[in-house]
């Protein structure tokens, strides 16, 4: 029997959406628990990591978004076929995490207006281009990370980071990165992901 899955997070895409994408793609049932800040303060001490996202699998908690994604990726066979596939996926997820951490520092790191502007400029001119150049190197011309030409946890995670680029740096020119744009399209136009995007709660980020 499949375990019972509960994803615990806020009412946001944030660091949880990659997990939701996996459940959407695989059609696996789960409980999508979304807490307000106020509710979170009340339950925080019951979650061993005191951080979300956390995935409750039956009675066991897994914290850390990328640990959850890798766990589900292995379970649902979304990590390519070879050890090298898995390593390339891990590299892409690492790059995606570097971009995500930069945006989180920029948006929620308590920076003043001037510091936020400076951080945005650094993201736009240094951090994001460096990562996107790696994606262009790693992706096939049709936008896949592995020769399986199927979506893996690498494309799912990375596509969400590209959406953060669109959200937080709206004038960033993505057209210079055509494989990355294809990869994003492969994910959001996948019928199961597209159906989830259409029905998911509308949130700011
Ligand atoms: N590296 C962690 C970061 C987790 C994290 O920073 N979670 C934030 C929300 S995105 C959180 O739990 N904030 C509430 C709190 O710390 O009380 C991951 O990827 O899961």
Longest Cα pair distance anywhere in the chain, in angstroms?
A: 54
Which among 124, 107, 135, 113 is positioned nearest to 165, based on CA atoms?
124
**Which atom of ligand 1 lies at the shortest distance from residue 100's CA?**
19
Residue minimizing CA distance to atom 16 of ligand 1: 51
pLDDT at 82: 97
Long-range contacts of 64-67 (CB under 8 A, 24+ apart): 65/15, 65/16, 65/18, 65/19, 66/93, 66/97, 66/157
> Which domains does the chain carry?
5-77 (3.40.30.10), 83-191 (1.20.1050.10)
Going by pLDDT thresholds of 50, 70 and 90, the confidence category of residue 2 is confident
Query: What is the tens place of the pLDDT at every residue in 31-58?
Result: 999 999 999 999 999 999 999 999 999 9
Q: Is the pLDDT of residue 1 over 90?
A: no
Is the shortest distance between the CB of 15 and ligand 1 below 6 Å?
Answer: yes
Mean pLDDT of 78-103: 96
Burial of 101-129, coded b for 16+ CB within 10 Å and e otherwise, reads ebbeebeeeeeeeeeeeebbeebbeebbe
For residue 67, the SS3 value is helix
pLDDT at 118: 97
Q: Is the pLDDT of residue 92 over 90?
A: yes
The pick from 15, 94, 96 for probing ligand 1's pocket by mutation, whose C-beta has the most ligand atoms within 8 angstroms, reads 15
pLDDT at 157: 96
For ligand 1, the distance from its centroid to the CA atom of residue 161, given in whole angstroms, is 16
Is the shortest distance between the CB of 157 and ligand 1 below 6 Å?
Answer: no
Give the C-alpha separation, 185 to 181, whole Å: 6
What DSSP string runs through 135-167? HHHHS-TTS-SSTT-S--HHHHHHHHHHHHHHH
Query: What is the tens place of the pLDDT at every residue in 168-194?
Result: 999 999 999 999 999 999 999 999 999
Query: What is the tens place of the pLDDT at every residue in 107-162?
Result: 999 999 999 999 999 999 999 999 999 999 999 999 999 999 999 999 999 999 99
The pick from 38, 51, 66 for probing ligand 1's pocket by mutation, whose C-beta has the most ligand atoms within 8 angstroms, reads 51
Mean pLDDT of 78-88: 97
């Amino acid at each position: 029997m499949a375990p019972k899955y509960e994803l615990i997070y806020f009412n946001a895409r944030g660091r949880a959406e990659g997990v939701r994408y996996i459940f959407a793609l695989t059609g696996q049932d789960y409980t999508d628990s979304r807490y307000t800040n106020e509710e979170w303060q009340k339950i925080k001490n019951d979650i061993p990591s005191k951080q979300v996202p956390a995935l409750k699998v039956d009675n066991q908690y897994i914290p850390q978004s990328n640990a959850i994604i890798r766990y589900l990726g292995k379970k649902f066979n979304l990590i390519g076929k070879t050890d090298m596939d898995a390593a390339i996926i891990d590299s892409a997820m690492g790059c995606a995490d570097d971009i995500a951490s930069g945006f989180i520092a920029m948006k929620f790191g308590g920076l003043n207006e001037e510091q936020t502007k400076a951080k945005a400029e650094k993201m736009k001119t240094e951090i994001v281009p460096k990562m996107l150049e790696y994606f262009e190197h790693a992706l096939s011309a049709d936008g896949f990370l592995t020769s399986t030409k199927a979506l893996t946890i690498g494309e799912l995670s990375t596509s969400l980071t590209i959406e953060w680029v669109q959200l937080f740096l709206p004038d960033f020119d993505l057209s210079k990165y055509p494989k990355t744009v294809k990869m994003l399209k492969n994910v959001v136009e996948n019928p199961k992901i597209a159906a989830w995007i259409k029905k998911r709660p509308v949130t700011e980020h």
